Structure 1
């Protein structure tokens, strides 16, 4: 099962999830000067990222919007990057945040668990309820796939809805209950079912509640680095069960030195981040 596999990698290597969420200003000058189109630059930079970080990261996350924004050439780059990750033997998380229902959800599942855009795990939005997530579950056993469902996100505006109280509990707490329920319905014997959750801790006050609610859910944790999530808060949630990976995107791929070999800097960043995040499992 995919979440058990991801957990094993996180324990053996580190909880670091490298986010390949590229922008034009992330690309090193050496690559910009060697490749004409942005899509080619993204592919080449991603190839270098994977090559130097594969021994320090448990998985990679690719945000589709970074590539959709560049049209067809961008989507070709997105497809190629996913293929490179999977060919390297790593787990590819497609950050697509889909949330439609019925036949449309089935088409999204097919589009992102098969073919040109195949990934191992997707991010999903459950605002429309179980109809928005259950169509993906057929791929869990058939193709060893999984999904991280948005529960508590790391953006400041998350409080607009996610923090609303319902019967003395926050909405995100109720969502976590449902994620646990859906996971057990699909895979009752799994220690960590293939329905996981996205939980950001940088705007979170209820760490004890989150830890209790997620002890049987595998987590994708955003917000470390550029968004200010603290390592001690992350550790307080996943230390006991070792049930999460921590995404770092801009903090890894952006703001490279203008001089020198960018590969050496990427290696150092990967080593440093992996060392920092291994603390979460001690």
Structure 2
């Protein structure tokens, strides 16, 4: 099962960090910029992947950053996912899809039938019939999903924190995630039906972790969005597993903090710092 192999790769690299390739043209170093934004971003993405693939298991590619460039941007999205996969990395397509069942079938096939995509993010707002096509394809193609549960953005509470039957909405979502994933738990004790919980809400993450003991959690919000490694550690289980932590701008723009060294060295330095920061926090959380 994919989730078991995924966990083994994270353990092998001792690194739960995810590098978010939410690349924008303005992130590209000036000396790398060409007149064509697509080719500039492509070269930047390739250099990042080349720098990290031996020490990072997972990349997350945010599709909106590519869709804004039209057909050429979508081609770049898939070139990037294919290149990362060629390097042996796991690829999360951050697409946040959610729609009625017939449309969800099409969304799922668009991503989960591809060999260069391992996981997608999905939106549960429309209920189980919008999620089931993704679960069915995960079974068929050995893939995984991360369901938006308590997101990292400041206004997530506008809807997610509303109380229904004595619980905030995000807890109801977590209970559903646990139910939807309980029949798909691998040998390592985790399901391919995962969740998204922002590191910016560590207290909520602790409770959600307990509600979803078998869910793997994608944790955004570390670094630039303000969350610390200790905040992110709230999403992990006592076995030191159960979550992966994303950083996008903090890694993509690390060369600006270290102009004295090259692009690749700056990225590697930031990834290693993040890895060690997270590992230390996770160990401390287990004491």
TM-score range, shorter chain: over 0.9
Deviations 1:111-154 (A, max 9, x none): 11235x95110000010000111101222232211100000000
Aligned to 1:234: 232
- 5+ residue gaps in structure 2? none
Contact 1:7–1:244 (8 Å) recurs in 2: no
Q: Secondary structure at the residue paired with 1:215? A: coil
CA distance in 2, matches of 1:10, 1:265: 22
Q: Secondary structure at the residue paired with 2:83? A: helix
> Any residues of structure 2 matched to 1:199-278 within 5 Å, and which?
199-241=197-239, 242-254=241-253, 256-257=255-256, 260-278=261-279
Contact 2:177–2:212 (8 Å) recurs in 1: no
CA distance in 2, matches of 1:152, 1:28: 33
CA distance in 2, matches of 1:69, 1:199: 26
CA distance in 1, matches of 2:197, 2:274: 19
CA distance in 2, matches of 1:166, 1:221: 25
CA distance in 1, matches of 2:254, 2:280: 25
How many Å apart are 1:239 and its aligned residue? 4.6
Aligned to 2:103: 104
Deviations 1:80-101 (A, max 9, x none): 0000111111110000000012
Q: TM-score, normalised by structure 2?
A: 0.91
How many pairs does the alignment contain?
278
CA distance in 1, matches of 2:236, 2:185: 22
Deviations 1:157-193 (A, max 9, x none): 11011111122211111101101101124x2666211
Give the 3 Å change call, closer, same or farther, for CA 45–188 of structure 1 in structure 2.
closer
* Structure 1 ranges of 4+ moved more than 6 A: none
Aligned to 2:180: 182
Higher relative contact order (CA 8 A, sep 6+): 1
How many Å apart are 1:269 and its aligned residue? 1.1
Aligned to 1:48: 47
Aligned to 1:20: 21
Q: TM-score, normalised by structure 1?
A: 0.92
CA distance in 2, matches of 1:93, 1:189: 19
CA distance in 2, matches of 1:228, 1:167: 32
Contact 1:16–1:56 (8 Å) recurs in 2: no
Aligned to 1:10: 10
Q: Secondary structure at the residue paired with 1:256? A: helix
Query: What RMSD, in angstroms, separates the aligned Cα atoms of the two structures?
Result: 1.8
Aligned to 2:138: 140
Aligned to 1:162: 160
Give the 3 Å change call, closer, same or farther, for CA 121–154 of structure 1 in structure 2.
same
Give the 3 Å change call, closer, same or farther, for CA 259–76 of structure 1 in structure 2.
farther
